[in-house]
Amino acid sequence: MSSGKVIHLKNVVKRYGGRTVNDINDKVLGECGIEGLIGPNGAGKTTLINLISNKISLTEGQISFFKDGTEIDISKSSIDKLSRLGLVRSNQIIQDFDSLTIMDSMLLSLAASKQERFYKLFGDKKARKMAEEEIAWYLDFFHFNNPNGHADSAGEKKLLDIIRCMMLKPKYALMDEPTAGLSEDQTQRAIELMKKRTTEEGMRILIVEHDLDLIWNVCEKIHFMSEGKILLQGSPEEIKCNEMVHNKYIGE
Amino acid sequence: MSSYWIQAISFVAIFIALAGSLYLQSSIGGITNFGIVGFFGVAMYLYTIFVVTLAMPPLLALLAVVGIVFVVALVLGRVILDLGPQSILVATLAFATIIRHLATVLEGVTGAAKGIGTVKMPWDFEKTSDEKILFMVVLIVLAAIVLLYAAKIKKTPYGRLMLSIKDNEVLSESLGKATLNHKVIYFAFTSAIIGLFGALTAPIYTYIFPHFILADVTFVVWIALLLGGRMSVWGAVVGIAVTKFLFDYGIESVLSAFQVRMGPAFGAMWPNIKLALFGAMLIAIFMFRPNGIVSRKREGSLQ
């Protein structure tokens, strides 16, 4: 088990009108390589992911991100700034770029900001050459029917979403139901990739999943959410055997 | 070559460049600009004021105008590009309306309905026709550069970025792309291209009136893009070739020849015949090739 934290949630509250969707007093995330976030439907898991990634704004509180020993308040950081800081997310609902092929999508992820200028018409060969090796690795690791074509199936789109995140080499990745829609083989590959990144590069990942077998087998630490609160944090064994978790979730 | 055809080809080159710019904004950047004539008009008037009223050298005036249009679009873009597509459409349309209104009411500067001129060609040859032919060649070359840029941009890192913003801005943002900044700069750059061609229209008209910057300039360019097919820049070229060249000049010439044979009664009818033919062709294209004449197999694809 790794040490140190990546995210610190301080009195995080999200309300819609009079309804409190998230109310988290003082919790840390990202102490271990792969962590899981579980809880019944409507527990506020996706809302929490949206709050950390700033897709939606906080009603109250603060979210801190730790990078190289420095605490950064990311409560008001834009999505693109967060991504550049090293905090990325994959999406629960399938997201893709209709105009881009699988290859173009990967090139987009790997493109450096200085390459993306309106007056740079002749830099593509160089950009492709620089990305060639990394893209080839991903295409070898995962199978796409036609990498030069569009991602047609839901599985390919989901996989591409994960790959785009991984290509950014983030410090912390939020994965909202990353294996939903993937085949057994693709799921195993995706998990293998996540484990590789956490062990070899020190990346931290938070997975939101309803597939509990995957959660018990892959995660080093699990956060249990219900009614907008993180009620319990612990190892898979501790969470699995907890009576409250059984009453509120597993026993559903 | 007759003066008529020199002017016709010059206008076709200008409109092809405008359609190319609209393709860049709409099909690559996802920006619904309904104020093309605003940028076109402000540049045309500024160039005229600079060279006629202020007696600036044409090249310097042209550079100044393009720079001003860039800054104007930068400011406007910063205000409106964070809004939804419909709001951008309305805001750009409003911008064009304001420019036309200013051209109409600022009599001391623009001459209002009396117009402002005379804008000469940027060079002075013995024969006026040579001046116009060279200007036409310059316009064709510049329009070709715009088209080549538009054709090439899709396969560059910047093109992929703009396509990603058009398709899914939040997803693009989540990959670390500062989407609003990129959109604003792209809008300013492409509007400056529209401004360049607006300024270069002034020497062709020689005398500038507010009715040159009516909304129909915008509509012609949009219709051309939709007609030709907005998924490819060549669709814009085909669209302009059909709307401006075939209908405004080609069919007009043929019908004029008929008028000579068939008398003035036919002459009174032919503008309506032309419109009817245009309408019939639009219906046929939208029925049989809804993605435009130059359409692709995969709807929504730019590959």
Task: Residue A176: give its domain's CATH number.
Answer: 3.40.50.300
Instruction: Provide, as residue numbers in chain A, all residues whose Cβ is less than 8 Å from the Cβ of B30.
Output: none
Interface contact B166, partner A, CB < 8 A: yes
Can you give the pLDDT at residue B299?
Answer: 46
Please choose, from the candidates B187, B158, B213, the residue with its C-alpha nearest in 3D space to the C-alpha of residue B46.
Answer: B213
Can you give the pLDDT at residue A3?
Answer: 56
Can you give the pLDDT at residue A2?
Answer: 47
Can you give the pLDDT at residue B303?
Answer: 37
The answer to whether the CB of A35 falls within 8 A of the CB of A221 is: yes
One domain, residues A228 and A113: no
Average pLDDT of chain B to the nearest whole number: 90
Interface contact A3, partner B, CB < 8 A: no
Residue A105 included in any domain: yes
Can you give the pLDDT at residue A252?
Answer: 54
Domain boundary among A123, A150, A177: A150
User: What is the arithmetic mean of pLDDT over B106-115?
Assistant: 94
One domain, residues A91 and A173: yes
Q: How confident is the model at residue B296 (pLDDT cuts 50, 70, 90)?
A: low
Q: Look up residue B267 and give its two tokens.
A: 């002459």
B136 burial class (0-12, 13-18, 19+ CB within 10 angstroms)?
Answer: buried
Residue A209 included in any domain: yes
One domain, residues A41 and A131: no
Asked if A118 lies within 8 A of B170 by C-beta distance, the reply is no
User: What is the arithmetic mean of pLDDT over B163-171?
Assistant: 96
Q: Is the pLDDT of residue B269 over 90?
A: no
Tell me the range of A177-181, B41-45, B125-129 where mean pLDDT is highest.
B41-45
One domain, residues A89 and A44: yes
The answer to whether the CB of B32 falls within 8 A of the CB of B88 is: yes
Three-class SS state of A174: strand
Q: What is the pTM of this model?
A: 0.90
Q: How far is CA B131 from CA A45, B58, B125, in A?
A: 70, 14, 6
Residue A156 included in any domain: no
One domain, residues A70 and A174: yes
Whole-angstrom distance, CA of residue A42 vs CA of residue B282? 51
Can you give the pLDDT at residue A74?
Answer: 96
Q: How confident is the model at residue B298 (pLDDT cuts 50, 70, 90)?
A: very low
Residue A158 included in any domain: no
One domain, residues A77 and A104: no
Three-class SS state of A176: strand
Residue A85 included in any domain: yes
Interface contact A98, partner B, CB < 8 A: yes
Residue A197 included in any domain: yes
Count: domains in chain A: 2
Q: Is the pLDDT of residue B302 over 50?
A: no
One domain, residues A49 and A131: no
Residue A1 included in any domain: no
One domain, residues A103 and A146: yes
Interface contact B82, partner A, CB < 8 A: no
Q: Which domain holds residue A130?
A: 98-150
Whole-angstrom distance, CA of residue A52 vs CA of residue A206? 11
Instruction: Provide, as residue numbers in chain B, all residues whose Cβ is less than 8 Å from the Cβ of A109.
Output: 175
Can you give the pLDDT at residue B254?
Answer: 77
Residue A159 included in any domain: no
Q: How confident is the model at residue B229 (pLDDT cuts 50, 70, 90)?
A: confident
Which residues in chain A land under pLDDT 50? 1-2
One domain, residues A87 and A43: yes
Can you give the pLDDT at residue A79?
Answer: 93
One domain, residues A89 and A120: no
DSSP 8-state symbol, B300: T
Pairing of strands A34-38, A60-67: unpaired
